[in-house]
Amino acid sequence: RKEVEQDPGPFNVPEGATVAFNCTYSNSASQSFFWYRQDCRKEPKLLMSVYSSGNEDGRFTAQLNRASQYISLLIRDSKLSDSATYLCVVWGPGAGSYQLTFGKGTKLSVIP
Amino acid sequence: EPEVTQTPSHQVTQMGQEVILRCVPISNHLYFYWYRQILGQKVEFLVSFYNNEISEKSEIFDDQFSVERPDGSNFTLKIRSTKLEDSAMYFCASSESAGGDYGYTFGSGTRLTVV
């Protein structure tokens, strides 16, 4: 049973494109939701929290649908520097303990 | 910007040896964590620590693992007798609150290679 599931990609998009990532989570008791970004062999870095009302940070828009347990991330006007793996992360009870649970990530390559 | 510091960045050890991975969390954070990531796989929770004791741990965190906060700044992960399958990137993280309100701040990791 995959707790947080993402399309692994890779997504190869040209600069300036709009790209969307999707994520589903299995535990309805999950309480907080995030997108993290991870560059190759680096640590995960918080990109943004995700709220049911939807939230935007510059070119990035995140959305949460608690009823369908679905999270999305939209990146507009992609830059070369957006190339990374995007991790869908939920916080809540998992395997008996409260923790951040990570998806395996979706790899994005933005091509000149 | 405050950061979580981890040392060493890379450790190579022989199977069966003990290793200690070190972390300095953000100074005003009270909650500390260890996660690991085997190459090509997802980031996995190991343990959380608060008020000088373990608050949560995963199935991965068996008797060969231990954590300690030996002084006011360091937070360590000890693996007593390393196995080949312990080879992974180990990330320390810290947070202001117990809840996941603001996410966690991760250190840059220690790459452990067991040979």
B12 with B113: CB under 8 angstroms? Answer: yes
- In the prediction, which pLDDT does A52 show? 87
- Phi/psi at B105 (nearest 5 deg)? -100, 125
A104 → closest Cβ in B42, B58, B91: B42
Interchain contact, B99 vs A91, CB within 8 Å? yes
Residue A1 has pLDDT above 60, yes or no: no
- Tens of pLDDT, residue by residue over A22-50, are 999 999 999 999 999 999 989 999 999 99
- Say how far residue A97 (Cα) sits from the centre of its chain: 22
Confidence of residue A70 (pLDDT cuts 50, 70, 90): very high
Interchain contact, B45 vs A91, CB within 8 Å? no
Minimum distance, in Å, between the CA of residue A44 and any CA atom of chain B: 7
Q: Which two tokens stand for residue A23?
A: 């994520």
- Widest CA span in chain B: 40
Residues of B in contact with A39 (CB under 8 A): none
- Tens of pLDDT, residue by residue over B83-115, are 999 999 999 999 988 766 778 999 999 999 999
Residues of B in contact with A102 (CB under 8 A): 42-44
Residues of A in contact with B56 (CB under 8 A): 97-99
Interchain contact, A31 vs B99, CB within 8 Å? yes
- In the prediction, which pLDDT does B15 show? 98
Confidence of residue A9 (pLDDT cuts 50, 70, 90): confident
CA distance B18 to A102: 28
Q: Which two tokens stand for residue A66?
A: 């608690």
Please check whether residue B48 touches A, CB under 8 A: yes
Interchain contact, A43 vs B91, CB within 8 Å? yes
Closest CA to A18 of A69, A65, A76, A72: A76
- Tens of pLDDT, residue by residue over B12-60, are 999 999 999 999 999 989 999 999 999 999 999 999 999 889 998 999 9
What integer is the mean pLDDT of A77-100?
89
Residues of A in contact with B98 (CB under 8 A): 98
Q: Encode burial over A26-43: b for 16+ CB neighbours within 10 A, e otherwise.
A: ebeebebbbbbbbeeeeb
User: How many CB atoms sit inside 10 A of residue A23's CB?
Assistant: 25
Q: Reply yes or no: is the peptide bond before residue A112 cis, omega within 30 of 0.
A: no
How many interface pairs between A and B have CB atoms less than 8 angstroms apart?
66
Tell me the DSSP string of B34-101: EEEE-TTS-EEEEEEEETTEEEEE-TT--TTEEEE--SSS-EEEEESS--GGG-EEEEEEEESSSSST
What does each C-alpha distance from B50 to A23, B35, B95 come to in angstroms? Answer: 30, 15, 10
